[in-house]
Amino acid sequence: MAQYIMKGGNPLVGEVSISGAKNAALGILAASVMADEDVLIENLPDVQDINMMLDAIREIGADVMRLDTHTVRINGKGIRELSVESENMTRIRASYYLIGALLGKYGRADVPMPGGCEIGQRPIDQHLKGFRALGAEVEIVNGRIRVESKKLRGEHIFFDVVSVGATINVMMAAALSEGRTILENAAKEPHIVDVANFLNSMGANIKGAGTDVIRIVGVPRFHAATYSIIPDQIEAGTFMFAAAITRGDIMVKNLIPKHMEAISAKLIEMGCEVLEFDDAIRVVGTPRLRPVNVKTLPYPGFPTDMQPQVGTAMALARGVSVLTESIFESRYRYLRELSAMGACSKVEGNTAIITGVEKFTGAEIHACDLRAGAALVLAGLAAEGITTISDIHFIQRGYEHFEEKLRALGAVIELANNERDLRKFMMVAG
């Protein structure tokens, strides 16, 4: 099984360019099958989750042509199969977007229950509530979600919880329904705006995405479009925290500074210098971070997908930080891994109390999920000595060429596929 092996201690210094947003791309790829004409999608991130989604839409009959690593042309005209069988779809969270897309276009879908990182219960009741409100019958049988409707009609829907997935999913189905839909208590994350903009580029009539009320007037069909995906807010935030954790100096390029405000504010509070440019942010680390308190919240609050990265930085701060996770209930497993590197923390309910230490030391640890895995790599790069991280398939699901981007910043890190690779690394770097 592949591992990362790294020798820590080098401050990461230099420039890094951010790829397209994985979570926006997943919604956009699912939505692209709703058109019967060519849809060209640019700035696609080259990560596993995206490849799995492309395979799934190819398997149901969409024409998928990868023009280059970051560009794909999709045409949903050939879709004959509304039952998604791809085994990969049980592994990723965003498989549920095919329900909204197929229900909106064909009035029917049959999709396996979604997978994704094990960071909490992750119910989908709000998605189903929205589909039912639009007039669909919904049943869950043998681990599959089946939805069917003779005619979808616009509705006034009030979400009980702020959910990124439910907002995108119901928005997609409503975009091809009859009449007006109003989504209240909608999520406001940047990728919701991106999916809405993409749907509008295919002819949808969606207003208000990015606020908590989204208004949709259904249209009968979509047409051809060309669309470029926004930069990944979480990948950008991860590299910004890489500068803080390794006491480095990183120019993070190709991002949207507005999307980074909660993250920039915390880095400044921790003592880093944060310089903002039109489409870049430079973060200059500090010899010792200051402790802070963070509570994860829906956008524009501090993102839950940045919680392990800020938790790792807190573990190196001078003093006690309080971290509260308010979105998912099982997102602290990385703290156990960090403790093997010398970190000191205590979890009580959804709160972690983290007492900073002066340094981490290398250890053999494993990536518990996608974002935790990335944070642990940053910890390993800050640690004294050698760290190995197993289960890196989690990280490869969502970070494009992670180790290569880190190496370009001066990190001593290799992908090791076997014992021989590990020994070779030790001989050269150990």
Catalytic residues: 117
Which residue of 93, 105, 259, 397 would you call a contact of ligand UD1, by CB under 6 A?
A: 93
* Binding flags for ligand UD1, 239-278, as an x/- string (CB under 6 A): ----------------------------------------
Nearer to ligand UD1, 237 or 248 (CB): 237
CA dist 398 and 3 (Å) reads: 16
Helix residue ranges per DSSP H, 246-299: 261-269
Nearer to ligand UD1, 10 or 304 (CB): 304
Q: Rounded to 5 degrees, what angle do the CA atoms 295, 299, 300 make?
A: 85
- Kindly identify the residues of this chain, within the stretch 171-210, that bind ligand UD1 according to CB under 6 A: 187
Which residue stretch of 13-21, 55-63, 122-130, 241-249 sits at the interface with ligand UD1 (rule: CB under 6 A)? Answer: 122-130
Nearer to ligand UD1, 122 or 180 (CB): 122
Which residue of 9, 61, 115, 120 would you call a contact of ligand UD1, by CB under 6 A?
A: 120
Which residue of 3, 86, 163, 177 would you call a contact of ligand UD1, by CB under 6 A?
A: 163
- Kindly identify the residues of this chain, within the stretch 292-311, that bind ligand UD1 according to CB under 6 A: 303-305
Nearer to ligand UD1, 118 or 269 (CB): 118
CB of 94 to ligand UD1, least distance (A): 4
CB of 95 to ligand UD1, least distance (A): 9
Q: Is 140 in the site for ligand UD1 (CB under 6 A)?
A: no
CA 333 to chain centre: 18
Which residue stretch of 77-85, 117-125, 145-153, 239-247 sits at the interface with ligand UD1 (rule: CB under 6 A)? Answer: 117-125
Nearest to 194 by CA among 396, 30, 53, 397: 30
Is residue 204 within 8 A of residue 222, CB to CB? The reply is yes
Q: Is 350 in the site for ligand UD1 (CB under 6 A)?
A: no
CA dist 298 and 162 (Å) reads: 7
Tallying the residues shown for the chain, one arrives at 430
CB of 224 to ligand UD1, least distance (A): 26
Q: Rounded to 5 degrees, what angle do the CA atoms 185, 192, 83 make?
A: 100
Is residue 293 within 8 A of residue 321, CB to CB? The reply is yes
Which residue stretch of 162-170, 247-255, 382-390, 409-417 sits at the interface with ligand UD1 (rule: CB under 6 A)? Answer: 162-170
Query: SS3 for 378?
Result: helix
- Tokens, residue 245: 């954790």
Which residue has its beta carbon closest to ligand UD1?
A: 165
Q: What phi and psi, each to the nearest 5 degrees, are found at residue 281? A: -135, 130
Is residue 61 within 8 A of residue 128, CB to CB? The reply is no
> Who's near 83: CB < 8 A, 6+ residues apart?
60, 110, 111
Nearest to 379 by CA among 117, 368, 262, 298: 368
Which residue of 56, 60, 94, 374 would you call a contact of ligand UD1, by CB under 6 A?
A: 94
CA dist 181 and 206 (Å) reads: 9
Is residue 412 within 8 A of residue 10, CB to CB? The reply is yes
Nearest to 379 by CA among 350, 415, 406: 406
Which residue of 7, 70, 105, 127 would you call a contact of ligand UD1, by CB under 6 A?
A: 127
For residue 96, the 8-state DSSP code is G
Site size with ligand UD1, rule: CB under 6 A: 23
Q: Is 125 in the site for ligand UD1 (CB under 6 A)?
A: yes
CB of 327 to ligand UD1, least distance (A): 5
Q: Is 328 in the site for ligand UD1 (CB under 6 A)?
A: yes
Q: Is 327 in the site for ligand UD1 (CB under 6 A)?
A: yes
Distance separating the N- and C-terminal Cα atoms of the chain: 21
Q: Is 86 in the site for ligand UD1 (CB under 6 A)?
A: no
Give every strand in the sheet of 144-148, ordered side by side. Answer: 108-112, 144-148, 137-141
Q: Is 238 in the site for ligand UD1 (CB under 6 A)?
A: no
User: Rg of the Cα trace of the chain?
Assistant: 22
Q: Is 161 in the site for ligand UD1 (CB under 6 A)?
A: yes
- Tokens, residue 326: 């308010």
Q: Is 394 in the site for ligand UD1 (CB under 6 A)?
A: no
Q: Is 25 in the site for ligand UD1 (CB under 6 A)?
A: no
Q: Is 227 in the site for ligand UD1 (CB under 6 A)?
A: no
Q: Is 166 in the site for ligand UD1 (CB under 6 A)?
A: yes
CB neighbourhood size of 125 (10 A): 11
The residue ranges that bind ligand UD1 (CB under 6 A) are 23, 26, 93-94, 120-127, 161, 163-166, 187, 303-305, 327-328
